[in-house]
Structure 1
Amino acid sequence: MRQQESGCKGCREEYKVTEEQIQRVLSSPMFSEERCVPNDQYEARLNACSSCPKLQSGTTCTLCGCIVQITAKLIEKRCPYPGQDRWAAATAAV
């Protein structure tokens, strides 16, 4: 029996999430205006993620496994960084 690879598929080198895939998800009805943060807040969240040591390959949060460009768009989501919400700090200035 072949040993199963460990880690999420987003953590494996052979799997890459493309910008086209992300945009396709963001254009779905789930991302209606009332469920999403304003664009300036979204950009602040993405900037906080881009400087986070837990961001892998520019897309995946290694703390929760989400694709940050998707999760950061939703109002009800919070940064999973232990002990501090990096999004809250970033968007306080917005």
Structure 2
Amino acid sequence: MATSSCKGCREEYKVTEEQIQRILASSAFAPERCVPDEIYEQRLELCRSCPKLQDGTTCLVCGCIIPVVAKLKERECALPGQSRWGAYHEEAV
């Protein structure tokens, strides 16, 4: 059985939808720290079209769990030199 050199690629390290929802429900995601739902959905859609998104959750550029970081105002797309979130980030701040 071949194993991946990337920890995040192995089944035992994959983040479930339940885990993501539990994180988003935590106090760290107070409304004043989060982008509006419309901006959140736009960010997610932009990431879904990115070739650097792995398994629908993980950014291969920064290693972040996109459904989590896309919710936060202070976060930006980590794609070097070409943020996919662009104007969406500035509208939300």
Return the TM-score normalized by structure 1.
0.84
Q: Over aligned residues, Cα RMSD in angstroms?
A: 1.8
Partner residue in 1 for 2:5: 6
More contact order relative to length (CA 8 Å, sep ≥ 6): 1
1:83 to 75, 81, 84: 81
- Give the Å deviation of 1:16: 2.0
Partner residue in 2 for 1:59: 57
The runs of at least 4 aligned residues of structure 1 exceeding 3 Å deviation read: none
**Partner Cα separation in structure 1 for residue 47 and residue 81 of structure 2:** 15
User: For each residue in 1:20-76, what CA deviation from the matched residue of structure 2 results, as whole angstroms up to 9, or x when unmatched?
Assistant: 000000000000000000000000000010000000011000000000000000000
Larger radius of gyration: 1
| Structure 2: unaligned runs, 5 residues or longer | none
What is the total number of aligned residue pairs between the two structures?
A: 87
**Hey, which of these two has a bigger chunk of helix by percent?**
2
